[in-house]
Amino acid sequence: MNSAPKKIIAFLITIFILILMYQGAYLPLRKSQLYIDAISQLQSGAIHSLQDFAGVFDLALGYYSPIGQDEEVSYYTGGVLANIINQQSNPGVVDALLKDAERWMNPIINAGKGIGYSQNLYNFAMIYQMASQKLKNVDYLNKSVDLFYQGLENSPNREIFLEGLLNDYEIGGDTAKAKEVGKTILKYWPDKQDIQKFINDN
């Protein structure tokens, strides 16, 4: 092989390696840096409105990276939103936060698969459960129930989805359905004494 083809091959290999480094290292790193910056701004008190909040987290969550989106959304819903909703009593703020979260969750839910799919679905169901308790909102509770059932479609009899569903029915006052779910849990995890006590007491 003469030198010209060798140089072309070497050049193409170099370009390929650079693309891999960009896609697999730089973009995920930059995405994580933006998320850390958003958390820092939130913790420092630099965010004073919903617009500020959305703007800061949009930079991180909307930043393209082939790696890390599902994980970042999971941290966002399971950590940031869960804490805010737990402390928030303004229905308008909670509703705006939940609707905004839909933008990031819907692509993951619609995909119906992925490493972080089940965890994201669980986190999303839980923040709706929290919001329903906080604001006594039946629509939020129904959304939580739907999400837990969606999780069970892909992961039948997964404990966290079943227990979340049981809690939803307890919150909604549907003791019959709560007991039904409780019996399913005991079928697979008979040592759950708190579940057994709930069934015995009801």
Every domain of the chain and the residues it spans:
1-67, 95-202
Please tell me the predicted confidence (pLDDT) of residue 161. Answer: 96
Lowest mean pLDDT among 19-23, 191-195, 196-200: 19-23
User: How far is it, in rounded angstroms, from Cα 113 to Cα 106?
Assistant: 12
Q: Judge whether residue 20 has pLDDT over 80.
A: no
Output 1 or 180, whichever has higher pLDDT. Answer: 180
Fold classification of 95-202 (topology level): 1.25.40
Output 182 or 89, whichever has higher pLDDT. Answer: 182
User: How far is it, in rounded angstroms, from Cα 145 to Cα 27?
Assistant: 36
Mean pLDDT of 128-141: 95
Q: Would you place residue 150 in the very low, low, confident or very high pLDDT band (cuts 50, 70, 90)?
A: very high
Q: Taking Cα atoms as reference points, which of 138, 159, 137, 139 lies closest to residue 148?
A: 159
Per-residue pLDDT tens digits for 32-80? 999 999 999 999 989 989 999 999 999 999 999 988 899 999 999 999 9
Give helix then strand counts, H and E, for the chain. Answer: 11, 0
Q: Would you place residue 8 in the very low, low, confident or very high pLDDT band (cuts 50, 70, 90)?
A: low
Lowest mean pLDDT among 10-24, 41-55, 148-162: 10-24
User: How far is it, in rounded angstroms, from Cα 140 to Cα 171?
Assistant: 11
Q: Which residues of 34-60 are buried (b: 16+ CB within 10 A; e: fewer)?
A: bbeebbebbeeeebeeeeebbebbeeb
For the chain, the C-alpha Rg in angstroms (whole number) is 22
Mean pLDDT of 120-129: 96
In the chain, % of residues over pLDDT 90: 69
Q: Are 90 and 53 in contact (CB under 8 A)?
A: no
**pTM to 2 decimal places:** 0.86
User: How far is it, in rounded angstroms, from Cα 180 to Cα 194?
Assistant: 15
Q: Judge whether residue 151 has pLDDT over 60.
A: yes
Output 109 or 145, whichever has higher pLDDT. Answer: 145
Q: Are 109 and 150 in contact (CB under 8 A)?
A: yes
Q: Would you place residue 10 in the very low, low, confident or very high pLDDT band (cuts 50, 70, 90)?
A: low
Q: Which residues neighbour 22 within 8 Å (Cβ) at sequence distance 6 or greater?
A: none
Question: What are the backbone angles phi and psi of residue 190, rounded to the nearest 5°?
Answer: -65, -10
If 0-12 CB within 10 Å is exposed, 13-18 middle and 19+ buried, where does residue 140 land? buried
